[in-house]
Structure 1
Amino acid sequence: MHKPALPMEGTDTFNDQIRIVLVETSHSGNIGAVARAMKNMGLGNLWLVNPSSFPDETSYARAAGASDVLDRAQVVDSLDEALADCVLVMGTSARGRKVPWPVIAPPQAAVTAYEAGQQGPVAMVFGRENHGLSNEELQRCHYHIHIPSNPDYSSLNLSMAVQVICYELRMHYLRSLDEGESSPYLESMVAPGDRGWDVPPAAVHDVEGFFGHLEQVLVDVDFHRRNNPRQLMTRMRRLFQRARLDQMEINILRGILTSVQKAAGTLPGNGQQQPTAADVANAGQDKDHV
Structure 2
Amino acid sequence: MHKPALPLEGTDTYNDRIRIVLVETSHSGNIGAVARAMKNMGLGNLWLVNPRSFPDEASYARSSGASDVLDRARVVTTLDEAIDDCVLVMGTSARGRKVPWPVMAPPEAAATASRVAADGQVALVFGRESNGLSNDELQRCHHHIHIPSNPEYSSLNLAMAVQVLCYELRMLYLRNLEQGQGSPYLGSVTGPGEAGWDVAPATVREVEGFFEHLEQALVDIEFHRRDNPGQLMTRLRRLYQRARLDQMEVNILRGILSAAQKAAGKASDQPRPSDAQVSEAGQEKGHV
Shorter-normalised TM-score: what interval? 0.5 to 0.7
Partner Cα separation in structure 2 for residue 95 and residue 115 of structure 1 = 25
Q: Which amino acid aligns with 2:97?
A: R
Q: Displacement of 1:180 after TM fit?
A: 5.7
Q: Which residue is 1:126 aligned to? A: 126
What runs of 5+ residues in structure 2 fail to find an aligned partner?
183-288
Q: Which amino acid aligns with 2:121?
A: P
Encode CA deviations 1:2-61: one digit per residue, 9 max, x unaligned. 111122222333101000000000000000000000000000000000000000000000
Q: Which residue is 1:116 aligned to? A: 116
Partner Cα separation in structure 2 for residue 149 and residue 176 of structure 1 = 27
Q: Which residue is 1:146 aligned to? A: 146
Partner Cα separation in structure 1 for residue 77 and residue 137 of structure 2 = 14
Partner Cα separation in structure 2 for residue 111 and residue 57 of structure 1 = 35
Partner Cα separation in structure 2 for residue 161 and residue 131 of structure 1 = 14
SS in 2 for 1:52: coil
Q: Which amino acid aligns with 2:94?
A: A
Partner Cα separation in structure 2 for residue 174 and residue 29 of structure 1 = 29
Q: CA RMSD in A?
A: 1.3
Alignment of structure 1 residues 238-253 onto 2, 5 Å: none
Q: Which amino acid aligns with 1:108?
A: E
Partner Cα separation in structure 1 for residue 181 and residue 112 of structure 2 = 22
Pick which of 98-107 and 169-178 moved more: 169-178
Q: Which residue is 1:83 aligned to? A: 83
Alignment of structure 1 residues 173-252 onto 2, 5 Å: 173-177=173-177, 179=179
Residues 98 and 181 of structure 1: CA distance in aligned 2, closer, same or farther (over 3 Å): closer
Partner Cα separation in structure 2 for residue 133 and residue 95 of structure 1 = 12
Alignment of structure 1 residues 30-45 onto 2, 5 Å: 30-45=30-45
What runs of 5+ residues in structure 1 fail to find an aligned partner?
183-290
Q: Which TM-score applies when normalising by structure 2?
A: 0.62
Q: Which amino acid aligns with 1:15?
A: N
Partner Cα separation in structure 1 for residue 88 and residue 180 of structure 2 = 30
SS in 1 for 2:114: helix
Q: Which residue is 1:10 aligned to? A: 10
Q: Which residue is 1:171 aligned to? A: 171
Q: Which residue is 1:215 aligned to? A: none
Q: Which TM-score applies when normalising by structure 1?
A: 0.61
SS in 2 for 1:47: strand
Q: Which amino acid aligns with 2:71?
A: D
Larger Rg: 1
Pick which of 9-18 and 120-129 moved more: 9-18
Alignment of structure 1 residues 274-285 onto 2, 5 Å: none
Partner Cα separation in structure 2 for residue 103 and residue 17 of structure 1 = 22
Q: Displacement of 1:181 after TM fit?
A: 9.0
Partner Cα separation in structure 2 for residue 64 and residue 79 of structure 1 = 27
Encode CA deviations 1:102-133: one digit per residue, 9 max, x unaligned. 00000000110011101100000000000000
Q: Which amino acid aligns with 1:18?
A: I
Q: Which amino acid aligns with 1:142?
A: H
SS in 1 for 2:75: strand
SS in 1 for 2:125: strand
Q: Which amino acid aligns with 1:16?
A: D
Q: Displacement of 1:173 after TM fit?
A: 1.4
Q: Which residue is 1:19 aligned to? A: 19
Q: Which residue is 1:92 aligned to? A: 92
Q: Which amino acid aligns with 1:59?
A: S
Q: Which residue is 2:51 aligned to? A: 51
